[in-house]
Amino acid sequence: MRYKFQLIVGAFIFVYLLVSALVLNFYNDLAMKDAKKEAYYVLESINSVREYIAGVQRPLIEQLKEQGILKEDFFDERLLSSSYISREIYNIQKKKYNLEFDYKLVAIAPLNKAHEPNEFEAGVLHGFKENKFKEFVKIIKDENGSQLFVGLPIKNQSPSCLACHSSANAPQQMLEKYGMEGIEIPDVNETVAMISFKIPIRAIFTYHLQEVIVIMSAITLIFGLFLLLVYKMHRRGEESKKQTEQLMIHQSRLASMGEMIGNISHQWKQPLAQISSALINLELYQERKKLDEAKIYEFIEETSKQINFMSETVDDFKNFFSPNTLRKEFKVLEVINQTIKILNATLKKYQIEVQLDVRENFEVFANFNEIIQILINIINNAKDAFKQSYTKPRVIKISTFLKDDRKNLCVQNNAGAIKNSFLKVIFEPHFSTKESGSGLGLYMSQLIARKNNAIIFAKNVDENHVAFTISFENL
């Protein structure tokens, strides 16, 4: 039962971790996709700005120059450079939306040295040039940790670009500003460039943080509730198991009721005989008119002594049969004496001598009646063994001792050894060597012992002696 419960809890935790991992993975994928989408969106809008400048703004300024409204070599990057303008627009966007995107524009043979590609970017640029891909997404590691890199090529290359991107054609003002010696780009296709974002992975993780927190809390809550339910069911199972056990212990005690009543009647025989002989004496004295006050007192004293003994006997049995007594601390000798008292008549009837060797009168914390029950079981078994053997004198030796930090109570008899093959199974349910035995006695005894933090073991001391030891944990 316990094993099964642990298995269920284990399976639950496993499923919980699995579900959690799946959910986190799902949200991670989602966050990555969202980050990519957002990056594309911003990059595409930058590309659109570039297209607008190349397609509308620059031709308009050319027109103004032709009409003489603007001077022939007028140049101002704030109006004419799409790279400059788009960078400015990105900076505005970044501030507005709190973007953690690291924007960069790189080109082969750039006018602005800040647009020089590093090794990795150069590789990507070549990929674009050779048309290996139309967009580029990759998780990379740099000095700032893991980043999602998203790159798009700059579209709209046209011969008109060479109006500035070649030292031969560029306007005077621009040539002065950018110092463009050596920049000679004969073919428009050589001007490969890319705009890109680097987004720190840790920033991406926060994308769906709120949903993740809500969902994970919900999952945790649901699993927690389930676990609680399973635990409650398990507890209930354990409890009912305990109750059944308790019931069984009590029933097995009741089962010995018949024998115990026999015991009572044996114990009562002597006091009853004594009372009746005292009564006869009383009558005789009365007939002979010799009954005086002293004789009456003597009679009263004698009979009340016997009656006291009888009522004590009944009390002992009553206490033994009373159910649900609590655990308490008691000396081991107490429980030995009480057992012998209860079994006194039986022991006498079968001429069994009890020898005590209480070397250590240790304290035991247990259910008093249940320990008596175990001892009665063991002694009754010995009695049955004696009935089948010819050993004389019949001796049961009860000894106590401490060993290996355990408190031991040993009951030894000389009724003959038990077969070794039996010794192994003696405590299993429904094992019995007796024809009428239920085979529950020792099994129940072991069960009761375990409940009281003890174990029972049996061994042959020699070919005549068997010892049953109740070994208590030293709590």
**Which H/E stretch holds residue 331?**
strand 327-331
Rounded Cα distance, 112 and 106, in Å:
9
CB of 113 to ligand HEC, least distance (A): 8
Exposure letters 246-268 (e unless 16+ CB within 10 A, then b):
eeebbebbeebeeebeebbeebb
Residue 106 or 385 having the CB closest to ligand HEC? 106
377 φ/ψ angles, rounded to the nearest 5 degrees: -55, -50
86 CB contacts (<8 Å, ≥6 apart)?
A: 46, 49, 50, 105, 195
Least distance in Å: CB of 56 to ligand HEC? 12
Residue 101 beta carbon to ligand HEC: minimum distance, rounded to whole angstroms: 18
Which C-beta is closer to ligand HEC: that of 64 or that of 296? 64
Residue with tokens 């002696």: 465
Residue 432 DSSP class: -
DSSP letter (8 states) at residue 336: H
Question: Cis link prior to 393 (omega < 30° from 0)?
Answer: yes
Q: Is 22 exposed, middle or buried (0-12, 13-18, 19+ CB in 10 A)?
A: exposed
Report which residue type is found at 329.
E
Q: Which is nearer to ligand HEC, 158 or 308 (CB)?
A: 158
122/163 with CB nearer ligand HEC: 163
Question: In the complex with ligand HEC, which residue's Cβ is closer, 169 or 388?
Answer: 169
CB of 77 to ligand HEC, least distance (A): 5
Specify the DSSP element, H or E, that contains 454.
strand 454-460
Please state the closest distance from residue 103 (CB atom) to ligand HEC, in A.
Answer: 13
- Give 112 or 270: the residue with its C-beta nearer to ligand HEC: 112
The rounded Cα 186 to chain-centroid distance in angstroms is 72
CA distance 467 to 383: 14
* Residues forming the site for ligand HEC (CB under 6 A): 54, 58, 77, 80-81, 83-84, 105, 107, 110-112, 115, 154, 156-158, 160-161, 163-165, 174, 191, 193
Give 2 or 78: the residue with its C-beta nearer to ligand HEC. Answer: 78
Residue 169 beta carbon to ligand HEC: minimum distance, rounded to whole angstroms: 9
Smallest distance from the beta carbon of 112 to ligand HEC, in angstroms?
3
DSSP letter string, 279-326? HHHHHHHHHTT---HHHHHHHHHHHHHHHHHHHHHHHHHHHHH-S-PP
What distance in Å separates the CA atoms of residue 429 and residue 262, rounded to the nearest whole number?
Answer: 27
Nearer to ligand HEC, 77 or 370 (CB): 77
> What amino acid occupies position 185?
I
| Min CB(171)–ligand HEC separation in Å | 7
The answer to whether residues 220 and 212 touch, using CB atoms and an 8 Å cutoff, is no
- As measured in angstroms, the least distance from the Cβ of 53 to ligand HEC is 8
- For the bound state, the minimum distance from the C-beta of residue 194 to ligand HEC, rounded and expressed in Å, comes to 8
